[in-house]
Amino acid sequence: MARIRTIKPEFFTSDDICALSPLARLLYVGLWCEADREGRLVWTPGVMKRRYLPDDACDIEALGAELTGRGLIRLYGDGLACIPSFARHQHVNIREAQSKLPPPPGEVQAQLPLGREGEGKEREGEGTEDGARAHMLPQDWKPDEEDLAWARAARPDLDRIALEAESERFCHHAAANRRTAHRWGPAWRIWISKAHPPKAAAAAAGGGTGDGPAERETEAQWRARLARYRPGKFWLEGDWGPRPESGNARVPPHLLADWLAGWRKQSEAA
């Protein structure tokens, strides 16, 4: 049964998505509709071809291989699959039925955040838990010792640096999307439970062995990031490296020089 899902504007400029062929991107979106509230689905390429690419002359197995090869879809069990990043990007309706499919090996079970219906009530001040109103993530929020102890037990493959990078991404994502929650620890645990191990993430993104960073950013992607960036504002250091003004940025030198010159000119004019 297909479900209603959401798609964010940044989907179209995401590095992982830009690396896919156009029909693989469309299939990936279709699989969000196919997946249940936990991001799990039955892997039936023939059915997916008829359902999401009915009039396109394509090799559905090859398209599926693109998605699994980049870690966007994970196959497991007897004909099952899951979308590892599903919980990060889809907030399901609280009335949607619970998953009837078993979880993939190693997946940590955690309570999903409230869906759109719950979010609307929270923003109107009606959604409460034990008398406490849902709130946005505090700017200085960090996982507490209990959360960190859970992460060390549940994700021993993530070292301290990897956890800090994922925590930074979690905070930026929550702030950028104006998420609210009664308790932020459970939401952080969901994020960490879905995180790729550092080597697996590099291999999935760049098609390599994972022994080094995947240098796959194009000049156009760097330009788009710099066009929106202002010092001290949103910058995914865990993905993009140190900030442009840090002196250790991964930004191509000629683009960095242009950005610094433009920023200094704006600052002087102000």
pTM over 0.75: no
Show the domains of the chain with their CATH numbers. Answer: 9-89 (1.10.10), 136-200 (no CATH), 219-269 (no CATH)
Give pLDDT, residue 75. 93
Q: What is the DSSP letter of 180?
A: E
pLDDT tens digits along 54-70: 999 999 999 999 999 88
Q: Which residue has the higher pLDDT, 154 or 108?
A: 154
Would you say 44 and 79 are in contact if contact means Cβ atoms under 8 Å apart? yes
If you write DSSP's letter for every residue of 248-266 in order, what string do you get?
---S-HHHHHHHHHHHHHH
Location of structure tokens 């196959």 = 75
pLDDT tens digits along 226-241: 887 888 776 767 667 7
Among 105-109, 142-146, 187-191, where is mean pLDDT lowest?
105-109
